[in-house]
Amino acid sequence: MRVIRPSPSARHDFVPGTAPSGPATRVPGPRQRIGACRRAAGIPVRPARCRPYTFDRYGDAVLVASVLSLKGGVGKTTVTLGLVSAAIHRGMSTVLVDLDPQTNSTLTVDVPPGGTAAGGPGVAGVLDDPRRGVVADALRPSPWSDLLRVLPGSEDTERHNHPDPGAKKLARLQTALEKLDPAPELVLIDCPPSLGQLTRSSLWAADRAVLVTEPSLYAVTGVQRALEAVQQERTSRGHLQPLGVVVNRVRPRVSEHEFRLAELRDLFGPLILSPTLPDRTAIQQAEGAGTPIHKWPSAGAKEVAGMFDQLLDRLLRSGRTGAARSGSGRGGSGRGGSGRGSR
C-alpha cells in the first residue's frame, strides 16, 4: 500500500507518477456523438433523467447509495443533500435516510427528529422493528418537495451503533428499505463518521458507496480506510460497489489542496469523481436556510447545483451498468430494464 506522506510546505517533492494532468478525456460513445450532433443542429436533446431502472433487490427498481467517510466534517451531509436536491429537481422520487445521530440532514430538510410525536419512530424505531407498518409510520414528508420522503434521524440512533454487530442487526436497514411503499427511485443514506453498525448496515443495504473527503492529509487516510471497509463489506455483499470519492471544499491555487488532489488521483485513479466540489459560501447559506441548493438564488449555488447534477448523473449511470452485471450475477429475476422504468 502507498504511504501517504505529509506535504512538504516549502518543497513539494511528491511527484504523482500516474496523476492525470487535467480532466480525464474520454472517447465519446455513440450516444454522446448523437447528442453532440443534435446539439450542433439545434435539436433538443432529451435530458438525462436516467432512471436507475434495473435494481430489483427491493422488488422494484430502487438504487440505494450510501454516503460515507470515516472522518467527521468532510461534507457527507452536504453531498447527500446536494444529491437529494439534484434528484428531486429532476423529478425523481427519493427517500433520504438519516443514519447520523447528529440529525443534521433531518434538520436541514425541515423534518422533526425521530422519537418525537411529530417525528414518529424515526430511523431508530425502524432499526428496532423493520416491519412495514413501522416503516410507513416513520416516513415523513419534507417541505423540500412532494417527491422527498425522509426516515428521520434522532440521537437515539446511537444505540444502534454497536462496534461489532452480527449479520442479523446489519440486515435490518435493508429489510426496512424493502418495505418502502411506494418504492422510490432513489434512496440516499447519510452516514455518521464512524464504522460501527450504522455505517456498516448502510453498506449492507446499498448498491453504491459514495465516499467523501477533503483535500487534507487526515481526510486522505480516512478515504483509504473507508475504501478498505467497502471492499471488506463487498466480500459478503456482492452488489455493493464503490462509486468513487467526492473531493469536497477544494480551493484552487491553495498549494496544499493541489498537492492532496494530485495525491488522491495518484492513489485512487478513476475512483476520484469529477467534478470536485469547490468551497462555496452558498452551500452553507442554503443549508442554514434549509433550502435545496438548486433553489438557492446565487451564482455560487447555481454552479454547485450543476456539479451535483453531474455527480447524480454519474451515480445513475453506474446503476445502469451495474444492473447489466447484476441481472446475471445475482441470480435474480433477470428483468434487465424492467421494473419502475417500465411503468
Q: Which is nearer to Mg ion, 71 or 208 (CB)?
A: 71
Range 24-47 burial, b when 16+ CB lie within 10 A, else e:
eeeeeeeeeeebeeeeeeeeeeee
Out of 104, 201, 291, 318, the residue judged to bind ligand ATP by CB under 6 A: 104
What residue has cell string 454516503?
67
| Partner from ligand ATP, Mg ion, none contacting 193, C-beta within 5 to 8 A by type | ligand ATP
| Single residue of 73, 270, 297, 306 touching ligand ATP by CB under 6 A | 73
Exactly one of 78, 93, 94, 201 binds ligand ATP (CB under 6 A); that residue is 78
Nearer to Mg ion, 189 or 316 (CB): 189
- Residue from 102, 216, 274, 298 binding ligand ATP (CB under 6 A): 102
What is the closest distance, in whole angstroms, from the C-beta atom of residue 341 to ligand ATP in the complex?
A: 31
Q: Which residues in 284-303 contact ligand ATP (CB under 6 A)? A: 284, 287
Q: Give the residue closest to Mg ion by C-beta.
A: 77
Among 55, 65, 70, 75, interactor with ligand ATP by CB under 6 A = 75
Which position among 76, 257, 260, 314 is part of the footprint of ligand ATP (CB under 6 A)? 76
Residue 60, amino acid: D
CA within 13 Å, CB half, 332: 23
Closest of 305, 281, 279 to residue 292, by C-alpha: 305
- CA distances (Å), origin 202, targets 41, 55, 59, 220: 45, 16, 18, 22
Taking CB under 6 A as the binding criterion, the range among 21-29, 51-59, 73-81, 168-176 that sits at the site for ligand ATP is: 73-81
310 contacts ligand ATP (rule: CB under 6 A): no
Identity of the residue, 107 or 171, whose beta carbon is nearer to ligand ATP in the bound complex: 107
For the chain, give percent helix, strand, coil, nearest 5: 45, 15, 45
Convert 99-136 to b/e letters by CB count within 10 Å (16 or more is b). bbbbbbbbbbbebbbbbeeebbbbbbbbbeebeeebbe
CB of 229 to ligand ATP, least distance (A): 15
Tell me which residue has cell 450504522. 198
Rounded Cα–Cα distance for residues 110 and 180 (Å): 21
Residues that bind ligand ATP (CB under 6 A): 72-78, 100, 102, 104, 193, 248-249, 277, 279-280, 283-284, 287
